[in-house]
Amino acid sequence: MEADAAKLIGAGIAVAGLGGIGAGIGNIFATTISSLARNPAAAPVVQLPMWVGFALVEAVALYALVVALMLMFVF
């Protein structure tokens, strides 16, 4: 196998988990909407953990993108 092909395969594997990232973000917001629909008064308590969870999940996606770009262009 050539080095260029191996780099592209590695980059593809690095971003393969982005489907899980999308599912995680969808789960975060679906749960928040469900919580706020049941108890609108809990909005200040629910929104901060929602945004922290969203930021952490999105950070994993950015790390996967950085790894993929490093595999493609640096190594």
Long-range contacts of range 11-19, CB-CB < 8 Å, 24 or more positions apart? 11/67, 11/68, 11/69, 11/71, 11/72, 12/68, 14/64, 14/67, 14/68, 14/71, 15/64, 15/65, 15/68, 17/60, 17/64, 18/61, 18/64
Residues belonging to the chain? 75
Whether pLDDT at 1 is above 80: no
pLDDT at 72 over 90: no
Q: What is the pTM of this model?
A: 0.77
Q: What does the pLDDT look like over 16-71, one tens digit per residue?
A: 888 889 899 999 999 999 999 999 999 999 999 999 999 999 999 999 899 888 88
pLDDT score at 43: 92
Domains and CATH numbers, the chain: 3-73 (1.20.20.10)
Mean pLDDT of the region 10-21 = 86
